[in-house]
Amino acid sequence: NGVVMAAFILFQILDDGGDLTHWIYKKYPNMFKKIKGIVEESVTGVHRLYQLSKAGKLCVPAMNVNDSVTKQKFDNLYCCRESILDGLKRTTDMMFGGKQVVICGYGEVGKGCCAALKAMGSIVYVTEIDPICALQACMDGFRLVKLNEVIRQVDIVITCTGNKNVVTREHLDRMKNSCIVCNMGHSNTEIDVASLRTPELTWERVRSQVDHVIWPDGKRIVLLAEGRLLNLSCSTVPTFVLSITATTQALALIELYNAPEGRYKQDVYLLPKKMDEYVASLHLPTFDAHLTELSDEQAKYLGLNKNGPFKPNYYRYLLLCCNVK
């Protein structure tokens, strides 16, 4: 969470998860009404902003950075595609080939995790509530199941939904010995860790961020980071990805602060496509990449400005995870 402050006057909120926004909204309502805008970068935080907006309680403009292309693809998909392997290796020293893995959720984070583990030779199952994401998982070569159908046989359970109580005590009771349980979604709400803090279960700290939870019959599960985010607790986030996300957030803050009166009302807005493209263009020199430029004739034919934006706001940049080897 971050707050831009000057002389103890709150100008803007830069949030990740919505906790800071919610706290200021509840505790300092008068201050909340005077801020110049909110920038939110997580699924859960954006969901909470839309709830405030729908209830007519969002009294300042907010920018949904989470659904910007640069955030979705690089922070959520490409970064998690690498950090899931990094986090599991650092904590468990396991091999992935032949392991059975169930990944709960096939959004951008879930897609990244699935692609990485499939490429390492794991047998990957997916759970999903959204029929479109579910169909994508099927077309990418993953078996769509309900968690109850595979919970007894899988070696790893990974949550990537942004929801709560995705893995319940009932699921945990049915897992096989040495099953690894971790979260790549939001906060620590996805796995019902509180249900494991009971007298009949023994907790054994194996190493930093790794706990064995032992049942009376001797069965144990391996819980990583106590259900918190694996990629933030047990691995590193590449500076390249941090640069992309931070640039996106900074541009959103500047846009809200400098916007003329009336451009943004008391609602939640997507980052303008032009800004998304600008963030991407700033990072292309890292790869010594050279963009092709449209000729005047080509731009006119397509009905585009030569400098962008090049895609409409409804355009979806898709990744076929089955092509990732």
Kindly report, residue by residue over 246-272, the tens digit of the pLDDT: 999 999 999 999 988 889 999 999 888
Residue 175: inside a domain: yes
Based on the fold, state whether residues 45 and 134 are members of the same structural domain: no
Task: Please report, in angstroms and rounded to a whole number, the separation of the first and last CA atoms in the chain.
Answer: 36
∠ CA 132-135-137, rounded to 5°: 110
Domain boundary among 234, 252, 283: 234
Based on the fold, state whether residues 118 and 65 are members of the same structural domain: no
Residue 10: inside a domain: no
Based on the fold, state whether residues 226 and 304 are members of the same structural domain: no
Domain boundary among 204, 219, 234: 234
pTM: 0.81
CB-based contact 94:145 (threshold 8 Å): no
120: domain CATH number? 3.40.50.720
Query: Alpha carbon of 91 to those of 94, 234, 235: distances in Å?
Result: 8, 7, 9
d(CA 224, CA 233): 9
**Is residue 321 over pLDDT 50?**
no
Based on the fold, state whether residues 126 and 229 are members of the same structural domain: yes
User: Confidence class of residue 9 from pLDDT cuts 50, 70 and 90?
Assistant: low
Residue 105: inside a domain: yes
Give the ranges where the chain is alpha helix by DSSP (H).
19-27, 29-34, 43-54, 69-70, 79-92, 108-119, 131-139, 147-150, 169-174, 230-233, 239-258, 273-283, 296-302
Task: Give me the mean pLDDT over the 42-53 stretch.
Answer: 89
Based on the fold, state whether residues 246 and 320 are members of the same structural domain: no
Task: Give me the mean pLDDT over the 79-93 stretch.
Answer: 93
35: domain CATH number? 3.40.50.1480
Based on the fold, state whether residues 81 and 207 are members of the same structural domain: yes
Based on the fold, state whether residues 137 and 96 are members of the same structural domain: yes
Based on the fold, state whether residues 67 and 87 are members of the same structural domain: no
Based on the fold, state whether residues 274 and 305 are members of the same structural domain: no
Residue 14: inside a domain: no
Based on the fold, state whether residues 288 and 298 are members of the same structural domain: no
Which of 98, 40, 86, 83 has the alpha carbon at shortest distance from 65?
40
pLDDT in tens, 100-140: 999 999 999 999 999 999 999 999 999 999 999 999 999 99
- Contacts of residue 173, defined as CB under 8 A and 6 or more positions apart, other chains included, come to 215
Based on the fold, state whether residues 44 and 188 are members of the same structural domain: no
**Is residue 7 over pLDDT 60?**
no
For residue 163, what are the domain limits? 75-234
Residue 109: inside a domain: yes
Residue 5: inside a domain: no
Based on the fold, state whether residues 114 and 61 are members of the same structural domain: no
Task: Give me the mean pLDDT over the 155-172 stretch.
Answer: 95
Residue 320: inside a domain: yes
Residue 281: inside a domain: yes
Structural domain total, the chain: 3
